[in-house]
């Protein structure tokens, strides 16, 4: 089970910008029911589910889902903890106390859900590949589930990731959206013990072309340099055998 992080938890209690303020962000891992196709699951999430959430008064909804559109990125998929996510729902609410109502709506169309209250940082805002509300964001979203390695303190892990690795990730990749969701606590029972969930949007060609992924089209030297810098940085705060990387399609349903 995901454990609350004391520093973040008390910051949430004391900060008017989080509790009692404008909004809080909930992140839900979604699992597709057996016998339901990926297409049907996507249609439910971006159709009846999102409408029920909007009708329930949530402030904003984003759905990410594994579907045929991201099949070319299968080689980039990494699963070390099962069951792997079939989708995500990112829901912005006035208060995390609304999580039970959100969970009930999601469970109507999902085999199971695991929800977390998160703090959000968005180093790269998508301004290049926009879509209409409810439509698929161009390219694809790489959703990454992180655990802190035992060799690091929690404070040291956060410090390196947020302060040092962020710059490297921005400089060496072609991501046009980058969101860091640090988990404060679980809002559902028996949620997997992840410490953070990352959302990174890339252009479609990055699904099959590593040089495009590392922002080095037709430049072998830049590709090798960027790839090596990214790998070396990731090794400092990630255990690769505890990492899940899932390519998904992103749908901004109701924007903030």
Rounded average pLDDT over 204-213: 98
Confidence of residue 155 (pLDDT cuts 50, 70, 90): very high
Q: Would you say residue 121 lies in a domain?
A: yes
* Nearest residue to 13 via CA among 87, 97, 137: 97
Domain that includes residue 216, residue range? 6-254
Q: How many CB atoms lie within 10 A of CB 135?
A: 12
First to last CA, the chain: 30
Is 244 buried (19+), middle (13-18) or exposed (0-12) by CB count in 10 A? buried
Q: Would you say residue 1 lies in a domain?
A: no
Half-sphere exposure of residue 113: CA atoms within 13 angstroms, side-chain side = 24
Q: Are 46 and 63 in contact (CB under 8 A)?
A: yes
Rounded average pLDDT over 149-173: 98
Half-sphere exposure of residue 185: CA atoms within 13 angstroms, side-chain side = 16
CATH number at residue 202: 3.30.70.100
pLDDT in the model for residue 106:
98
Q: How many domains does the chain have?
A: 1
Q: Are 76 and 207 in contact (CB under 8 A)?
A: yes
Rounded average pLDDT over 144-166: 98
For residue 213, the Cα-to-chain-centroid distance in whole angstroms is 18
Q: Would you say residue 189 lies in a domain?
A: yes
53/59 Cα distance (integer angstroms): 9
Q: Would you say residue 236 lies in a domain?
A: yes
Strand partners for 252: 62
Q: How long a stretch of residues is the chain?
A: 256
* Lookup: tokens for 139: 């390219």
Does a cis peptide bond (omega within 30 degrees of 0) precede residue 83? yes
pLDDT at 2 over 90: no
pLDDT of 209-249, one tens digit each? 999 999 999 999 999 999 999 999 999 999 999 999 999 99
pLDDT of 65-103, one tens digit each? 999 999 999 999 999 999 999 999 999 999 999 999 999
Q: Are 198 and 144 in contact (CB under 8 A)?
A: yes
Q: How many CB atoms lie within 10 A of CB 95?
A: 12
State the average pLDDT for the chain: 92
pLDDT at 24 over 80: yes
Q: Would you say residue 177 lies in a domain?
A: yes
26/203 Cα distance (integer angstroms): 26
211/202 Cα distance (integer angstroms): 12
Rounded average pLDDT over 92-116: 97
Bigger pLDDT: 256 vs 114: 114
Helix (H, G, I), strand (E, B) or coil at 20: coil
Q: Are 209 and 72 in contact (CB under 8 A)?
A: no
Percentage of the residues of the chain whose pLDDT score is greater than 90:
88
| Region of residue 60 (left: phi > 0; alpha: psi -120 to 50; beta: else) | beta
Q: Are 239 and 71 in contact (CB under 8 A)?
A: no
Rounded average pLDDT over 24-42: 98
* Nearest residue to 71 via CA among 160, 204, 192: 204
């Amino acid at each position: 089970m995901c454990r609350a992080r004391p520093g973040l938890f008390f910051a949430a209690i004391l900060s008017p910008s989080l509790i009692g303020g404008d909004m809080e962000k909930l992140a839900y891992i979604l699992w597709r029911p057996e016998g339901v196709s990926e297409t049907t699951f996507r249609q439910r999430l971006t159709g009846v589910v999102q409408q029920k959430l909007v009708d329930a008064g949530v402030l904003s909804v984003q759905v990410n889902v594994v579907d045929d559109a991201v099949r070319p990125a299968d080689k980039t998929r990494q699963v070390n903890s099962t069951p792997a996510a079939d989708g995500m729902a990112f829901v912005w609410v006035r208060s995390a106390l609304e999580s039970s109502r959100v969970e009930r709506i999601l469970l109507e169309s999902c085999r199971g859900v695991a929800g977390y209250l998160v703090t959000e940082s968005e180093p790269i805002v998508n301004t290049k590949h926009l879509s209409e509300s409810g439509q698929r964001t161009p390219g694809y979203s790489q959703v990454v589930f992180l655990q802190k390695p035992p060799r690091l303190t929690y404070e040291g892990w956060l410090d390196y990731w947020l302060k040092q690795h962020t710059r490297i990730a921005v400089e060496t990749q072609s991501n046009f959206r980058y969101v860091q969701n640090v988990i404060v606590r679980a809002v559902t029972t028996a949620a997997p013990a992840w410490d953070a969930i990352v959302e990174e949007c890339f252009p479609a060609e990055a699904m099959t072309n590593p040089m495009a992924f590392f922002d080095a089209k037709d430049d072998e030297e830049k590709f090798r340099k960027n790839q090596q810098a990214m790998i070396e940085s990731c090794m400092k705060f990630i255990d690769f055998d505890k990492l899940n990387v899932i390519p998904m399609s992103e749908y901004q349903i109701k924007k903030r």
